[in-house]
Structure 1
Amino acid sequence: MDPEEHGAVRDSFAELAAIAAGPNRAGDDPAGADPAGTDLAGSDRGRTGPGSGLARKDDHALDVGDAAEPTLAPLLLHSLSDLREIWVPLIEAAGARSVAEIGSESGVTTSLLVDLLRRGGGGRLVVVDPDPGVAPTSGGGLDVQVIRGYSPQALDGHAPTDAYLIDGDHNYATVHGELTAIADAVARFSRSYFPLVVLHDVGWPAGRRDQYYNPDRVPADARQPHSWDVGVEIDDPGVVRGGFRGMGAFAWALTEGGPRNGVRTAIEDFVAEHSDLRFFTVAPIFGLGVVVDRRAPWARRIADLLTPWVSNRLLSRMERNRVDLYLHVLRLQDAAAAMARARQREWSRLDDERSRLAALELEHLHRIGQLEHELAALRRREAEDAERAVHGHRPAADADEPRLRQVARIAGSALRSRLGPTGQERLARVQTRIADTGTARTALPALRRRPSAPARGGPSDPGAPPPG
């Protein structure tokens, strides 16, 4: 990460509850808990050694308790089970012998609840999920009831439990409906106070923005405009092309904030309708919410346990930093994926260009072969034409020569009969010169067919005719 990006992430640290989840409702105190009772009885804070979960190394305390524990997603903690150090003590402090889990995810939280109830001597576990991944069996003092259905409708008619863990669909209509169904069960079965309720995803991104796994299950008048193809960024009330997105698994409301939008808004609206309820929030891992009835005998103990966690600015900064870094990782992944797609497109283009050039090369080689064949034929024709140009008139001359000689003898005889001795001598010399000229004409084609003429001043060819 370059210095500018590092500075941007560093400067983005802020309290998640104030920035991502929005301001507290009017009338709520900042901590959401009684100011008194901040010290915890039997606290391990500041203690090291056996049973403390801390070890000493070079005078520094190291938390080694969970060092070897695997997480569901090493890159991004997201499960309610990752917040067990907070909510398990709350359920124990409430003395809950019956617990309902709404939304069982991978079954890790279910296993934690099974262990919790069995440690306390048994109890009743109700798992509400349309398709629970892990369904424990009854036995060993534990009564397990699995309700395969969607809440809040799946809660109708069932007796309330001592505590609820809610981590189902993260939208206003569903969460408000679940809390209303619990209140109806409390009234129907004449319970004296509201059960302990622990809810997940009260922070960013679902605290103030609806998230839909199945929008058709939400009434149209309670459903926000949404899209499956967008993502969200912290501090951006709209949507983006990248960001934190469901990749087809869920849809986001197009706008953050406003009435009847988000998990936290649903809880705040419900609590505002019931004066005896208090609402606490804890920042890490997308936010944990706790609803406590003031009238419950364990209310004070729950407030004391929550005091170190709620409105903890350090935890808020760490959660903000965690979300910022995860969004930065998503941006890096998106950039790498875009680069890979661009590289793939370039490879495809180069493959197409290579194929085109290979086809063009074959076409050119074929044309070159044709032209070489045509050139060879043309050269053969030119050689034949030159040969015919040299020897074209020789057959006619050879055919006329006997007749011309006969005419010459007759003419010579007639001429000699008319000439005296001197005239005959002159005629003989003329005939000799004519004979020499004929010899030269016969030798001329042979000289033309020779590779080269002798250099001037060089040795003479003994077969060449003498100069005329």
Structure 2
Amino acid sequence: MTEAMAGSREDPHAQARSARSAPVLLHSMSIFREIFEIVFARRGIRTVVEIGVESGQVSGIYAELGASDVYCVDPEPTERVRSAVEANDALHLVTEPSPEVLPRLPVADLYVLDGDHNYAVVRREVAWILEHAPDAVVAMHDLLWPWGRRDLYYEPSPLKAGDRHPISEDGPTVWHDELTPAGFVGLGAFTVARHAGGERNGVLTAVEDALAEHPEWRFELVPAVFGMGILYRAETDPDEALQRALRPYTTSNLLAAMENNRIALYTRVLQMQFEAAAQADDRDRLADTVAAQRHEIDRLTAELHRAWAVLRSG
């Protein structure tokens, strides 16, 4: 294991190769393959419903682990997603919104929720699953900062006005509680709730409210990569095998500390990028000003020469 992680004297760059092959933002659910392996090893997972399809890479992981049918729900799939689905007979693309299409899909053994990160949508998804798929396991993403307690709305949003909080195009940062144009911004792809916390706001809040109506379900949280949640009914794990297998991850203070450090570093980089772009804009404006002044100086100089020539000829 040490050599696989850190390399060897003969291959000192193994860790670096592994690092550069991972997503730079570490936002992908593929990071949690080890958690999915634990779930598949302790449950008979044959049917998966995946809401929110990244690129098709994660969808393929479920098939690799033993799923025979993976329903990939994405109303606006990219060509990369379409190609990935077409290349794997176990994958089936569903291009309808998740809350509406769930009742028309086969009841799954595993639901993976990584679509809309707002209370209204997540609450409807989770409520339907807890009511109609009592033997399923539910894996969820983005239960910690920044969307655990603050809604994100992909734009244009199909939500009714009553399901949305007042929005901002600025984004959150770790370094203060207010939104900032130097934070985690959507650049037109999404907006965020202007205020965090309170009722009906954020992914984790939606899960908590759903669980309040279904206390027979157990909730586990892996404090890494924006937070991964696992839901399952307690009676489907009578010997607590799944809970015990997840415990090294769900109780890890090290993972939590590393996640806090990661998001602090990430938002510091966002701030530095914003400041660098602002400085570049300032330099461009200064260059334009200098060019305009130089042009004016050249014009005045030419007029002065013409006037001097007239005086000399007179």
TM-score scaled to structure 2, two decimals? 0.90
Amino acid at match of 2:116: D
Counterpart CA distance in 1 for 2:269 and 2:61 is: 31
C-alpha offsets along residues 103-139 of structure 1, whole Å, 9 cap, x if unaligned?
112111112122122xxxx622111111332452487
Counterpart CA distance in 2 for 1:66 and 1:87 is: 24
Does the 8 A contact of 1:215 with 1:223 survive in 2? no
C-alpha offsets along residues 154-210 of structure 1, whole Å, 9 cap, x if unaligned?
212323100111100100111111112223433xxxxxx341000000010000000
Counterpart CA distance in 1 for 2:239 and 2:167 is: 38
Q: 2:151 aligns with which of 190, 199, 210?
A: 210
Counterpart CA distance in 2 for 1:97 and 1:303 is: 21
Identity over the aligned pairs, expressed in percent? 35
Structure 1 position 160 matched with structure 2 position 112: no
Equivalent residue, structure 1, for 2:39? 90
Counterpart CA distance in 2 for 1:216 and 1:325 is: 30
Equivalent residue, structure 1, for 2:227? 287
Amino acid at match of 2:44: G
Does the 8 A contact of 1:175 with 1:267 survive in 2? yes
Counterpart CA distance in 1 for 2:45 and 2:273 is: 44
**Change in 2 beyond 3 A, CA 1:234/1:295:** same
C-alpha offsets along residues 295-321 of structure 1, whole Å, 9 cap, x if unaligned?
114772211121011131111111111
Give 1:237 shift.
3.9
Equivalent residue, structure 2, for 1:199? 140
Give 1:283 shift.
1.3
Equivalent residue, structure 1, for 2:48? 99
Aligned counterparts, 1:203-242, within 5 A: 203-214=144-155, 216-227=157-168, 229-234=169-174, 236-242=176-182
Equivalent residue, structure 2, for 1:113? 62
Equivalent residue, structure 2, for 1:150? 97
Equivalent residue, structure 2, for 1:328? 268
Count of aligned positions: 307
**Change in 2 beyond 3 A, CA 1:55/1:356:** closer
Amino acid at match of 2:28: S
Counterpart CA distance in 2 for 1:123 and 1:243 is: 41
Q: Secondary structure of the equivalent of 1:152?
A: helix
Give 1:282 shift.
1.1
Q: 2:305 aligns with which of 350, 365, 371?
A: 365
Does the 8 A contact of 1:293 with 1:299 survive in 2? no
Give 1:54 shift.
5.3
Q: Secondary structure of the equivalent of 1:156?
A: helix
Does the 8 A contact of 1:157 with 1:185 survive in 2? no
Q: 2:70 aligns with which of 112, 121, 125?
A: 125
Structure 2: segments with no counterpart, 5+ residues: none
Counterpart CA distance in 2 for 1:138 and 1:246 is: 31
Counterpart CA distance in 1 for 2:116 and 2:304 is: 66
Counterpart CA distance in 2 for 1:138 and 1:368 is: 79
Structure 1 position 301 matched with structure 2 position 241: yes
**Change in 2 beyond 3 A, CA 1:292/1:150:** same
Give 1:322 shift.
0.7
Equivalent residue, structure 2, for 1:182? 129
Structure 1 position 245 matched with structure 2 position 163: no
C-alpha offsets along residues 266-316 of structure 1, whole Å, 9 cap, x if unaligned?
111111110111111111111111112101147722111210111311111
**Change in 2 beyond 3 A, CA 1:333/1:88:** same
Equivalent residue, structure 1, for 2:22? 71
Q: 1:313 aligns with which of 248, 253, 278?
A: 253
Counterpart CA distance in 2 for 1:77 and 1:56 is: 22
Give 1:64 shift.
5.2
**Change in 2 beyond 3 A, CA 1:269/1:249:** same
Structure 1: segments with no counterpart, 5+ residues: 1-46, 187-192, 375-468
Aligned counterparts, 1:436-455, within 5 A: none
C-alpha offsets along residues 350-379 of structure 1, whole Å, 9 cap, x if unaligned?
0000000000000000000001111xxxxx
Equivalent residue, structure 2, for 1:440? none
Counterpart CA distance in 1 for 2:137 and 2:282 is: 53
User: What CA RMSD, in Å, does the superposition of the two structures yield over aligned residues?
Assistant: 2.4
**Change in 2 beyond 3 A, CA 1:226/1:340:** same
Counterpart CA distance in 2 for 1:66 and 1:359 is: 58
Q: Secondary structure of the equivalent of 1:127?
A: strand
Counterpart CA distance in 2 for 1:184 and 1:146 is: 24
**Change in 2 beyond 3 A, CA 1:54/1:352:** closer
C-alpha offsets along residues 18-72 of structure 1, whole Å, 9 cap, x if unaligned?
xxxxxxxxxxxxxxxxxxxxxxxxxxxxx768xxx457858xxx98597276123
Counterpart CA distance in 2 for 1:248 and 1:258 is: 25
Does the 8 A contact of 2:60 with 2:91 survive in 1? no
Equivalent residue, structure 1, for 2:210? 270
TM-score scaled to structure 1, two decimals? 0.61
Q: Secondary structure of the equivalent of 2:195?
A: coil
Amino acid at match of 1:182: I
Amino acid at match of 1:365: H
Q: Secondary structure of the equivalent of 2:258?
A: helix
Amino acid at match of 1:180: A
**Change in 2 beyond 3 A, CA 1:158/1:104:** same
